[in-house]
Amino acid sequence: MSVATASQGKAKVSPGRIARTIASNYLVRRLGKALFTVWFVTTLIFFLVRLMPSNPIEVYINELIVQYSLTYPEARDQAASLFAIDLDAPLWKQYVDYMGNLVQGNMGTSLRSPGTPVTAIIARFLPWTIFSVGVGLLISFSIGMTLGMLSAYRRDSAWEPVVSAIGSFLSSVPDYIIGILLLVYLGVRWEIVPIHAMRGSSTPGIQPGFTLKFIKDIFFHAALPIATYVLATFGGWLLTMKSNTISTLGEDYVTVARARGLTEGRITSAYVGRNASLPLIAQLAISIGFVVGGSILIEFIFVYQGIGFQLREAINTRDYPVMQGIFLVITMAVILSNLLADYAYGWLDPRVRIAGGE
Amino acid sequence: MASNTAAANGLSRFLSDLGHSFRIFLRNLTRNKVGFVGTLMILGFIFLAFIMPYFVPAPHKADITKIYERPSREHLLGTDSQGKDIWAQIVHGGRDIVVMAFLTGMIATFIGVSLGSLSAVIGGPLDSFLTTLADVWLTIPRFPLLAVLAGLITLNNIITLALILAVLSWAGLYRAIRAQVFSIKERDYIEAATALGLGLRHIIFSEILPNMMAYIAINFTLAMTAAIYAQVGLVFLGLVPLTRNWGVMINLAWTQGAIFFRDSIYFIMAPVVAIALFQLSIVWMSRSLEEIFNPRLRAGR
C-alpha cells in the first residue's frame, strides 16, 4: 500500500499531495495541536467569565455604583473600557472582539490599579517565575537523572534503598508542605537563612544588569523557592530514571554491546543513558505545567514576586482582567514547553517522527 | 431434614470459603510491608476523622488566657492563637478532607473508566475526538484553573468541589484506562466473548474491568492525592471558604503569623504533619492495592 503511493508520488507531485505531506508531518501536527489548545483555553476563559452565574462584569459595575455613586450607564462604560469589551454588542461579536484584542496583545486593564495594562503586569512579573521555576527544574532534573542512574547501577549498595526512600517520600508530599517546612525550620526555628531579607524577587533599588552583584542578588532571593522546587520534584525523576535504567539494562542490544566489547562508558552513555532518559523528556514538559501551577503556592509562601503571587492577589481582590490574563499566559507557557518537548523528543527518537508519536 | 443439612453444609462451606479468601486477602495485604503500613495508616486516619470526634469535644470556645500553650495533659498538642485546643481541631478537621478525597476519587474513576472503555471499545470518531480533547485538557495547568474558578464561583461545599476536581482530572485517567482496554481488547478471551455474542455491557463489566482492577485502584489513589493537594492548596491560599479542616488551620496559622512565634510550632506543624502523613499513607496503600489486584505481580516471585 505505502509502496504503491510512494511510487505514484515519485511519478507526479500534485499540490494536494504536498499539502497532505505537510499536514501529516510530525512537527506540523504538533504545532497545530498547540494552536488548537491555545484557542480552546482562551475560549474557555471567555465563556467562563461572561456566562458565570455571578458575572464578574456585573459585579464590578455594582461595585462602582456603590463606591463612587456613579449612575448605571457611567459605571457600565467604565467597566467596558477596563475589560476591553463592548457590552452592548451580541455575545458572538464580543467574542470576536476579545479574540482580536488578544491577538494584538491587548488583555484589558487592571481593575484594582486602574490605568495599568494587564500585559504590563505580566511583563513585569513573569520573568521571575520563569527564572526560578526554570533553574529549579534544571537542577532537580540533573540531580534526579544522575542519582537515578547511579541507583540502578549500584542496586546492591547500602545507600541505594535510603536514596530511593527519600525520593519516594519527597515526591509523595505536596510541594507547599515542603515549602512551609523549609520556611519554619530553616528560617524561623534554626535561623539559618535570613527569610525577611529574602522576600521579594530582588533587593529594592538594585541595578538590573549582567553584573555579579545583581546575579548574586536574584539567586539569593530565589534560593528558597528553587530549593522547594528541587526537593519536591527530584524524587520523581530519580524513581523514573532508576526503573527505566533497570529495564534498559535488560535489553538485548545492551547485552550485544557488551559482547562486542564496547567500553562500559560508551554503553552507559550511548546505549543505556540515551534510551532510559527518553521518556523523561516528555515527562519534563508535563512537570513544567505542574510546577508553574504550584508556583502560586510556593511564591505565596516565600513572598516571591512572580506571576503566581500576582495571580493569587488578583483572585483575592477579584481583579478579573488580571486573573484572566495571567491564567492565559501560564497556560501558553505550558503549551509552549510541551511543544518544545515534543520537538526534542522527535529529534532524540527518530521512531516517534516516523510512527506519528502516539 | 435432608434439605436442612444441605443448607447448613452450604452455609459452612460458604463461610469457610469466605474465611479462605479473607486469609488470602490478608496475606496479599501484608506481603508488601510498606503497603501494609500505608493501609493501617489510612484506617487510622478514618478512625481519627469519623470516630474520634465523638470522644473529643469540638474546639468552640476561645480562651485568651491560654494562648500558645505547650502540650500538656489537658491540651495534647498545646493551644493556638485564640487559646483553642489544637488536638481537637485536628480531630474535627479531618472529615472534610477524607470525605472529599474519597468522593473525588470515586467520581474521577467513574468518569475515567466509562469514557476510557467506551472510547477503546467503540473506537471511530468518538475515540479520536476524546483522545484529542484529553491531549488538550492535559496541557491546561489544573491548579491555576481551579484557583481562577474559585474566583468566579463560590466553592464552599465539598460535593461541588469534589465534582469540579473530578471533572478537571478526567483526562489522565481516561488515557490510562483507554490504553489498558486497548491492550486487553486484543486478547483471545475477549474475541471469544464477542463471538459468543455476549453484548457490550457484559464484555466491559465482566471481561475487561476485572482485568484492570490494579490500574483502576492506582488511578483512584492518584486522583485522591491530587484532590487533597488541590483542596488544601486552595484553602491555604484563602481562596475557598471551608470551615474546620487542616488546610484552614494552616491558613489561620499563616495569616496570624504563627510561624514567627517560637511557641506556636504545634499550631502550624500539626496540620502540616497530618496532611503529609495522609498523602504518604495513600501513596503507600496503593502498593498493597497493586499487590491485591494484580495476580501476575504475585506469580512473578
- Residue A109 bridge partners (DSSP): A117
CA distance B166 to B184: 25
Q: Where do runs of H (alpha helix) occur along chain A? A: 2-11, 15-24, 26-51, 56-68, 72-83, 91-103, 118-153, 159-172, 175-182, 195-198, 212-249, 252-259, 264-266, 274-302, 307-316, 320-348, 350-355
CATH number of the B34-299 domain = 1.10.3720.10
Give me chain A's average pLDDT, please: 79
Q: Note whether A160 and A126 are same-domain residues.
A: yes
Report the residue from B140, B154, B276 with minimal CB separation from A177: B276
Q: Would residue A183 count as lying in a domain?
A: yes
Nearest residue of chain B to residue A327 (CA atoms): B144
Report the residue from B239, B250, B283 with minimal CB separation from A316: B239
Chain B residues touching residue A289 (CB < 8 angstroms): 139, 141
CA distance A17 to A149: 46
Closest CA to A312 of B272, B234, B47, B17: B234
- Assess B277–A contact: CB distance below 8 Å, yes or no: no
Reply yes or no on whether the pLDDT at B91 is more than 60. Answer: yes
Confidence of residue B198 (pLDDT cuts 50, 70, 90): confident
Q: Would residue A26 count as lying in a domain?
A: no
Min Cα separation A317/chain B (Å): 9
Q: Where do runs of H (alpha helix) occur along B140-244? A: 142-152, 158-168, 170-185, 188-195, 200-202, 213-236
Per-residue pLDDT at B77: 67
CA distance A257 to A254: 5
CA distance A225 to A342: 27
CA distance B145 to B157: 18
- Residue B79 bridge partners (DSSP): B85
Reply yes or no on whether the pLDDT at B10 is more than 80. Answer: no
CA distance B123 to A160: 45
Q: Note whether A219 and A82 are same-domain residues.
A: no
Which tens digit of pLDDT belongs to each residue from A8-28? 444 556 777 777 776 667 778
Summarize the confidence of residues B230-257 as an average pLDDT.
80
Per-residue pLDDT at A354: 60
Instruction: Answer yes or no: are the C-beta atoms of B104 and B162 closer than 8 Å.
Output: yes
Reply yes or no on whether the pLDDT at B300 is more than 70. Answer: no
Give the CA angle between residues B91, B97, B102 to the nearest 5°.
125
Task: State which amino acid sits at residue A190.
Answer: W
Per-residue pLDDT at B297: 56
Instruction: Answer yes or no: are the C-beta atoms of B218 and B154 closer than 8 Å.
Output: no
Which tens digit of pLDDT belongs to each residue from A129-186? 888 888 998 899 999 888 888 888 887 777 878 888 888 888 888 888 888 888 888 8
Question: How far from each other are the two terminal CA atoms of chain B, in whole angstroms?
Answer: 49
Per-residue pLDDT at B185: 75
More confident residue, B238 or B29: B238
Closest CA to B293 of B193, B204, B220: B220
* Interface contact flag, A300 B228, Cβ < 8 Å: no
User: And the C-alpha cell for B144?
Assistant: 491555576
B160: Cβ contacts below 8 Å, ≥ 6 apart: none
Which tens digit of pLDDT belongs to each residue from B131-176? 888 888 888 888 888 888 887 777 777 788 888 888 888 888 888 8
Residue whose grid cell is 497493586: B290
Q: Would residue A35 count as lying in a domain?
A: no
Confidence of residue B299 (pLDDT cuts 50, 70, 90): very low
Portion of chain A with pLDDT greater than 90, in percent: 2
Give me chain B's average pLDDT, please: 79
Q: Note whether A137 and A271 are same-domain residues.
A: yes
Q: Note whether A77 and A157 are same-domain residues.
A: no
Give the CA angle between residues B40, B41, B47 to the nearest 5°.
90
Highest mean pLDDT among A227-231, B11-15, B33-37, B132-136: A227-231
- Assess B238–A contact: CB distance below 8 Å, yes or no: yes
Q: Note whether A92 and A125 are same-domain residues.
A: no
Q: Note whether A215 and A319 are same-domain residues.
A: yes
Q: Note whether A175 and A257 are same-domain residues.
A: yes
CA distance A196 to B77: 28
Least confident of A119-133, A237-251, B159-173, B188-202: B188-202
Min Cα separation B14/chain A (Å): 41
Min Cα separation B60/chain A (Å): 27
Chain B residues touching residue A286 (CB < 8 angstroms): 138
Per-residue pLDDT at A256: 84
Per-residue pLDDT at A139: 92
B257: Cβ contacts below 8 Å, ≥ 6 apart: none
**Residue A75, domain extent:** 46-106
CA distance B291 to B117: 23
Confidence of residue A249 (pLDDT cuts 50, 70, 90): confident
What ipTM was reported for this prediction? 0.79
* Interface contact flag, B153 A311, Cβ < 8 Å: no
Helix, strand, coil shares, percent, chain B, to 5: 80, 0, 20
Q: Note whether A144 and A53 are same-domain residues.
A: no
Q: Would residue A15 count as lying in a domain?
A: no
Which tens digit of pLDDT belongs to each residue from A268-315? 877 787 788 777 877 777 677 777 777 888 888 888 888 888 898 888
Q: Would residue A275 count as lying in a domain?
A: yes
* Interface contact flag, A338 B228, Cβ < 8 Å: no
Confidence of residue A7 (pLDDT cuts 50, 70, 90): very low
Least confident of A197-206, A222-231, B177-186: A197-206
Reply yes or no on whether the pLDDT at A6 is more than 50. Answer: no
Indicate the SS3 state at residue A193: coil
Per-residue pLDDT at B68: 65
More confident residue, B60 or A183: A183
Nearest residue of chain B to residue A307 (CA atoms): B144
Least confident of A126-135, B75-84, B216-225: B75-84
CA A90 and chain centroid, separation? 35
Chain A residues touching residue B268 (CB < 8 angstroms): 180, 184
Reply yes or no on whether the pLDDT at B61 is more than 60. Answer: yes
- Look up the pTM and report it: 0.79
Mutate to test the interface with B, among A48, A55, A172 (most CBs of B within 10 A): A172
Closest CA to A320 of A48, A88, A104: A48
Q: Does residue A318 come out as left (phi exceeding 0), alpha (psi in the -120 to 50 range) or beta?
A: left
Q: Note whether A147 and A269 are same-domain residues.
A: yes
HSE-CB of A70 using CA atoms within 13 angstroms: 16
Domain of residue A214, CATH code: 1.10.3720.10
Which tens digit of pLDDT belongs to each residue from A95-135? 888 888 888 877 777 777 777 888 888 888 888 888 888 89
Closest CA to A334 of A281, A287, A283: A287
Q: Would residue A195 count as lying in a domain?
A: yes
Report the residue from B136, B144, B152 with minimal CB separation from A56: B152
More confident residue, A51 or B163: B163
Instruction: Answer yes or no: are the C-beta atoms of A141 and A284 closer than 8 Å.
Output: yes
More confident residue, A348 or A122: A122
Chain A residues touching residue B267 (CB < 8 angstroms): none
Burial of A294 (0-12, 13-18, 19+ CB in 10 A): buried
Number of domains in chain A: 2
Q: Would residue A40 count as lying in a domain?
A: no
Chain A residues touching residue B35 (CB < 8 angstroms): none
Portion of chain B with pLDDT greater than 70, in percent: 85
